[in-house]
Amino acid sequence: MGEKKPGRRSVNVLLIAYVSVIALGTLLIIVTLPKIMTALDESGMTRLVKERLLKSGTDNTTTNSNQARTIYFVVPQSSGFAYQPATVMVPQNLPYRQTVEALLKGPSVDALALGSISCIPASTRLIGLTVSQQIAYIDFTREFTYETVWGQSGKDAAIEQVRRTMRSFTGIRDIVILVEGKPLQSNVQ
């Protein structure tokens, strides 16, 4: 029986060490978790994870299912422009990019019947779109700045079409419009 006591002591020491490591790890998580959650929220990662979980939870059969998104066109009026929402279906895999691409295609026949037009020049193309920390950076070709028949109010309406379209996404708090990589001069908030 005397030989079993040293073995028990080593088991007790290992058990104490194991419990200590678990307790220290738990304490570390409890202390740092608020900072980690804040960083994830500010980066927009929490929203992306939630969207991905919702997507995987609702659609296990297809990876390219569509979702309804809102884009905005304008209806010319005597006092300026009214903004008309239109619903488009875009693939879930790149919702921001596909929604802006749908906006650049212009109004559908149904939207045209309601008097909707686009103040974005038809030759405008999307170079890139990035969302970082809830800010959408949208880079267009230089055609975005081309003069329209509505002059400066048409340019302002084109900018507002993009802003309203992107603000229809939850989690987008600001929009920065770029033209060939450079901030748009009239890009005022």
- Residue span of the structural domain in which 17 resides: 4-43
The gap between the terminal CA atoms of the chain, to the nearest Å, is 82
List, run by run, the mean pLDDT of 10-residue segments along the chain (189 residues).
60 85 85 77 72 62 74 90 92 90 92 89 94 93 91 92 94 93 68
122: tokens are 């038809």
Spatial distance between the Cα atoms of 75 and 119, rounded to a whole number of angstroms: 10
CB contact at 8 A, 81 and 153 = yes
From residue 146, give the alpha-carbon distance in Å to each of 46, 72, 103, 125, 164: 38, 19, 17, 12, 20
* Residue 91, domain member (yes or no): yes
Query: What pLDDT was estimated at residue 6?
Result: 58
Confidence (pLDDT) at 28: 83
Same domain as 113, residue 76: yes
Question: Per the domain annotation, does 141 fall within a domain?
Answer: yes
- How many folded domains does the chain comprise? 2
DSSP 117: B
Q: Is residue 54 a part of any domain in this protein? A: no
- Which pLDDT value is given to residue 56? 63
Which residues are bridge partners to 165 per DSSP? none
Q: What is the pLDDT of residue 3?
A: 54
Residue 180 phi/psi, 5-degree rounding, is 50, 45
Q: Is residue 59 part of a domain?
A: no
Task: Determine the Cα–Cα distance for residues 70 and 47; give it in Å rounded to an integer.
Answer: 19
Which positions ≥6 away from 173 have C-beta within 8 Å? Answer: 134, 135
Let me know whether 38 and 77 are in one domain.
Answer: no
